[in-house]
Amino acid sequence: MSFKQFNTYSQGIEQLQRSLERGRLAHAYLFAGDQLGALEALARTLAKTLNCEKPVTIAPENPKSKPAAEGKSNAGLPFDCCDHCSSCRKIDNGTHPDVFSIRPESKLRQIRIRQVTRRDDSPPRVLIEFINLKPTESPYKIGIIVAADRMNEEAANALLKTLEEPPRNSVLILLSTEPQRILDTIRSRCRRVNFGGERPPELDTKEFEWLKTFSDSAAAERKSLLGRYTLLDTLLKKLTETRTGIEENLKLSSPLEKYDEVEASLREQWEKELDGAVESEYRRRRSELLLLIQWWLRDIWLQTLASTPDPRSSTLLTFPQLSGTSRVAQRITAKDAMANLQLMEQLQRRLHTNVQEALALEVSLLKLKL
């Protein structure tokens, strides 16, 4: 995607593009928002923009600007990417030699020092070593740290020197849905761009159908625990399907599928890296699914307010097509609806710890007022 294709995050994108138009590129950015997947897409778009072979060089809001020569910007930096040149395609496919990402690994779901700087047990590429090399085929080396709030203290401290003395033609992009968890010494050395705010999720047909099933199941009038466990089963099946899909997709791109005869130690390392990547992506997708349920619960809360003097409550629904929303809202109070939202926020926080997933989900769904 190019910046112009993002239908949301306009304020953050405008802030970023203004600085690019003026030739003011930071050596390190902190992209903060509520969906890690969207932040990754935005980071890739910035990487594409800086390394694009045919970049957009004139802001749409400034049509009187004189055209720059192809590949050159009037202010020294491109404004957007073309999204179809060889460089852009490589970045989208994860094969560009000058763009590299790290993300949480291991059972603790942390970004560890072995990923940031070279250690005996480090993977083939580590962030600091990568960022200090000269660009191979593009103007900039781009390092992306996914879920930067998951860096342990040792890894964060190892990154500090690079943030203080960044190599030329290099940009680090830290992504976080919880930037307050990042060390102050790290945050202070990055230019923060917010891509957050409360915004409804964009659903495809399959996702919407699942949410409708979940909503109808919750709205069914069952007095026993059977109905609540049916709801839990709907969620757990979706999560299992999600994990299976992630495992299948990431396994296809793993070197384990390409090389049969390798040393046992290297195979073990690749297996650990694959497990870490699967777990990281699964946790991201799980968080997005629970956030989707939170938006639905928000609709219920707004419906409970429909009898109050505020006429806007009925026009602010995220999913007005779901009939189950109003049926649940008729059975509970606004106080209960707000308690549901708080309960889901607590669940999201618990799942960032080492709590057992199935137990945490079961307890939370049994406590929901439906």
Helix pair 334-350, 264-304: axis angle to 10 deg: 170
Beta bridge partners of 30: 174, 192
The verdict on residue 14 lying in a domain is yes
Helix pair 357-367, 334-350: axis angle to 10 deg: 170
**Do both 255 and 235 map to the same domain?**
yes
The verdict on residue 75 lying in a domain is yes
Q: What is the pLDDT of residue 180?
A: 83
Beta bridge partners of 32: 176, 194
As a whole number, mean pLDDT of residues 65-69 equals 40
As a whole number, mean pLDDT of residues 170-191 equals 91
Average pLDDT over the chain reads: 84
Amino acid at 285: R
Judge whether residue 125 has pLDDT over 60: yes
**Do both 162 and 258 map to the same domain?**
no
The verdict on residue 300 lying in a domain is yes
Residue 279 belongs to domain spanning: 205-367
CA–CA distance, 143 with 146 (Å, rounded to integer): 10
**Do both 92 and 236 map to the same domain?**
no
Residue 76 confidence class, pLDDT cut points 50, 70, 90? low
Which of 194, 221, 237 represents a domain boundary (last residue)? 194
Judge whether residue 102 has pLDDT over 60: yes
Q: What is the largest CA-CA distance in the chain?
A: 71
**Do both 231 and 150 map to the same domain?**
no
Judge whether residue 212 has pLDDT over 70: yes
CA dihedral 43, 44, 47, 48 (to 10 degrees): -140
Which of 194, 219, 242 represents a domain boundary (last residue)? 194
With tokens 């009898």, the residue in question is 307
Reading phi first (left if > 0) and then psi (alpha if -120 to 50, else beta), residue 227 is in alpha
**Do both 303 and 177 map to the same domain?**
no
Residue 336 confidence class, pLDDT cut points 50, 70, 90? very high
3-state helix/strand/coil string of the chain: CCHHHCCCCHHHHHHHHHHHHCCCCCCEEEEECCCHHHHHHHHHHHHHHHHCCCCECCCCCCCCCCCCCCCCCCCCCCCECCCCCHHHHHHHHCCCCCEEEECCECCCCEECHHHHCCCCCCCCCCHHHHHHCCCCCCCCEEEEECCHHHECHHHHHHHHHHHHCCCCCEEEEEEECCHHHCCHHHHCCCEEEECCCCCCCCCCHHHHHHHHHHHHHHHCCCCCHHHHHHHHHHHHHHHHHHHHHHHHHHHHCCHHHCCCCCCHHHHHHHHHHHHHHHHHHHHHHHHHHHHHHHHHHHHHHHHHCCCCCCHHHHHCCCCCCCHHHHHHHCCCCHHHHHHHHHHHHHHHHHCCCCCCHHHHHHHHHHHCCC
The verdict on residue 199 lying in a domain is no
φ/ψ of residue 28, rounded to 5: -150, 135
As a whole number, mean pLDDT of residues 180-188 equals 88
**Do both 340 and 320 map to the same domain?**
yes
The verdict on residue 35 lying in a domain is yes
Residue 222 confidence class, pLDDT cut points 50, 70, 90? low
φ/ψ of residue 212, rounded to 5: -65, -45
**Do both 336 and 274 map to the same domain?**
yes
The verdict on residue 74 lying in a domain is yes
**Do both 275 and 249 map to the same domain?**
yes
In the chain, the number of structural domains is 2
Judge whether residue 205 has pLDDT over 50: yes
Greater confidence (308 vs 335) lies with 335
The verdict on residue 200 lying in a domain is no
Nearest in space to 173 (alpha carbons), one of 193, 154, 196: 193
With tokens 């049994």, the residue in question is 366
**Do both 179 and 217 map to the same domain?**
no
The verdict on residue 233 lying in a domain is yes
CB 26 within 8 A of CB 191: yes
Greater confidence (67 vs 331) lies with 331
Q: Name the token pair of 188.
A: 């202070």
- The CATH number that applies at residue 181 is 3.40.50.300
- Residue range 2-36, pLDDT digits in tens: 888 887 777 788 888 888 888 889 999 999 988 88
**Do both 44 and 110 map to the same domain?**
yes
Which of 194, 229, 263 represents a domain boundary (last residue)? 194
**Do both 210 and 176 map to the same domain?**
no
As a whole number, mean pLDDT of residues 282-296 equals 87
**Do both 180 and 328 map to the same domain?**
no
